[in-house]
Structure 1
């Protein structure tokens, strides 16, 4: 089976001996689900319950969740649970019937975005809305060329797999796609980042035009999460300007950096000072329930809207909209944007202090509660094996994180937005112990 960077950098390998009960469950899972599915960690975790930032396994052991942005306002948040239960007990149907919920929620959602973005369409997953955004962009521009970053991940439909090189394995990047290096703030001077990224995007534009594809869009995750977490806010504006001059549009994939994750703004693109043409969002939108959306400038959406009837049976149904509305309530009522900035800043500061004593930590970077820690070798090269060892050592200490980046050497720390000062203390205590025992 081919190696998938995003799936296999921190996955269970069947050559790891486990207790009989776990091995039996894994065997049953593989027999019925097939081998495409992956599990985290050398010793997979069997979870049965969650609350806030805590997860509990089948033996009752408590874990600190420092990875799951899906449960963005915390596992089983009572307001979300109550809102979903109430709506589920009342009505759940689809968008071909009138319902106030989707209209009210859409108004609230669009109010968090710049005035230029005025319409929204719904689906169930980030993959679906990224697929939809590609269709809208192509219809609007009449071009097919797409520009991405070298380790992008935008989903798993056929169309978005072709723009997701980090999936790897037997998949391949589409012939209409050009990949550019991400703005690597660790290896590139700050003053050179924006210019270098724009230069690379410009070269991709020229190549697409020469091949006859034209330029449909630039699509990026605005914190470059699968590329290794690069948070510098200067890099996007010059590149977006080049794409628009070439007739293309800019799609901001906010599935990971959106909904207050970066602590600076509700949406990652706002940190960069750009207004996208299309915005996609998913995972944290419903705190784990399957709801996703694509917001758009009305003039960009017009050709698609007039020419293609759109319907998604479950997209925007009353129950998932109730969950999404409850998430907005919690973000506002519990001031989680401020919490992401303050607690995330404390976590970065504490990690940077630990890094000062450990030469195998090359960089600590990120924004809000999205942090990357680069693990390097004694010679300064990316160290995939060491990063994997750290992740699994943290798992043994019941703290859950993962890895990302081209070389699988960047620790990915992305906890629920309700992460607290005490959670930071727990995390850093265990991380310091792992560093002391590993290096």
Structure 2
């Protein structure tokens, strides 16, 4: 029997806004003062209802480019053949687990699949608590690890923000290792070790409660904290302190994994450490909902306590087919190398602008994960929040999509699809110069 899908009316942006306000979650925000209706994506571009192309520098989900033909084809072909759960045998899930674990250090060989980065971090928390038989968690200030209740409890970005209810008793917050505006600056070769030392304070607070630390959660590069690249040695020292206290170390790679860092496939590798658990999501399937946890065999074995972990959708053949296609595209199109090359080009261009415009206080990043912190005063480091948002609106008016983040919302956040080209980079740098000129 053939059925015809009911046509979806094509509405104006204002009609969609009105319907969102009437029928959707009222806390769901929209980007920009005048939201854009997007109808198509290709490569590093999004296209609006009038066919205008916008250079996308904010979407780290469509990792290998919007609607990459190989990823789309893989999903279409598998969906037309079979989609079911993991209680049946299928080649795709074991092939994906094999290919994914091959990108990791040899110590990390067991894969759990989920539907999102939030689910991956939730599962990592369960693994850590089961393995250590402890409860309390150490996180880094201003971190964001997901939108479930347990992840909101682990995310200072949420629990210390608007609508938050403050730090839960079982969470300890370590000092953010920001070597631009923090206590220890970039000219201090021991900054990483000094920031890591704050874990001793967090562990002591846990012990004082009569509890033990189960895990140290840390993004391999801090995203919502303001695109902060960890000082050299930070994770090495922090992991040693956490391990000595009996905790496991969890690397959150949800935003920065899969070659985005350029120098390595996984951003934690730049710190010369091997985590106990790695979590991922966002770019793993180029926009199709999927996440993963990769861990050590002994941690996975401890999870075998009689309670099965079964997830209806995670690891289904369609998701795994698309995940495999993403790995293929990264390798075949040499996108990790592209992220390194184009990212370095952007960093050099930004540093040139920094010498010209006093509004740029700091430029930092690796590969195609870059932050530009705007300040009004280079000594007081007064955040230029209004100016940062003015830059975002100027770029949007010239069809470049960007966003801000950081504790003061004054950091331009660059995380485009890793197909971003040198030509794209030049277009952005030219428009940013124009925006800064108007403000100056």
Q: Shorter chain as normaliser: what TM range?
A: over 0.9
Q: 2:227 aligns with which of 201, 226, 229?
A: 229
- Alpha-carbon deviation of 1:31? 1.1
Determine if contact 1:54/1:75 at 8 Å carries over to the other structure.
yes
Q: Any conservation in 2 of the 1:162–1:171 contact (CA below 8 Å)?
A: no
Return 5+ residue gaps in structure 1 as ranges: 1-19
Name the structure 2 match of 1:340.
339
Cα drift, residue 21 of structure 1: 4.0
Q: Name the CA distance, whole Å, in 2 between partners of 1:152 and 1:308.
A: 30
Within 5 Å, give how 1:5-404 maps onto structure 2: 21-167=12-158, 168-172=161-165, 173-187=167-181, 188-190=184-186, 191-231=189-229, 232-378=231-377, 380-404=381-405
Deviation at 1:383, TM superposition (A): 1.8
Deviation, 1:316, is 0.9
Separation in 2 of the partners of 1:360 and 1:223? 24
Greater CA drift, 130-139 or 159-168 = 159-168
SS of aligned partner of 2:111: strand
Compute the displacement of 1:192 (Å).
3.4
Displacement, 1:304? 1.4
Q: Secondary structure at the match of 2:62?
A: coil
Cα deviation for residue 23 of structure 1 reads: 3.0
1:300, CA displacement in angstroms?
Answer: 1.5
User: Which deviates more from structure 2 when the two are superposed, residues 183-192 or residues 244-253?
Assistant: 183-192
**TM-score w.r.t. structure 1 length?**
0.94
The residue matched to 1:349 in structure 2 has which SS?
Answer: helix
After superposition, give the CA deviation of every residue in 1:8-31 in whole Å (9 maximum; x if it has no partner).
xxxxxxxxxxxx943332121121
Q: Which runs of 4+ in 1 moved over 6 A?
A: none
Write the distance in 1 (CA, Å) between the matches of 2:407 and 2:15: 33
Taking the aligned partners of 2:434 and 2:304, their CA distance within structure 1 comes to 55
Kept in 2, the 8 Å contact 1:395–1:401? The answer is yes
Contact 2:193 2:233 in 1 (8 A): no
Aligned equivalents of 1:213, 1:395: Cα separation in 2 = 49
Query: Residue 418 of structure 2 corresponds to which residue in structure 1?
Result: 417
Aligned residues: 420
Aligned to 1:6: none
Take 2:15 and 2:191, find their aligned partners in 1: how far apart are those partners? 50
- Residues 184 and 193 of structure 1 are in contact (CA less than 8 Å); yes or no, is this contact kept in structure 2? no
Mapped to 1, the partners of 2:228 and 2:328 lie a distance apart of 29
SS in 2 for 1:206: helix
Contact preservation (8 Å) 1:149, 1:227: no
RMSD: 1.3
- Provide TM-score, normalisation by structure 2: 0.93
- Partner of 1:415: helix, strand, or coil? coil
Distance in 2 between residues matched to 1:380 and 1:197, nearest whole Å: 20
1:101 is paired with a residue of what secondary structure?
Answer: helix
How much has 1:389 moved relative to structure 2? 1.3
The alpha-carbon deviation at position 307 of structure 1 amounts to 3.3
Worse-superposed segment, 270-279 or 379-388: 379-388
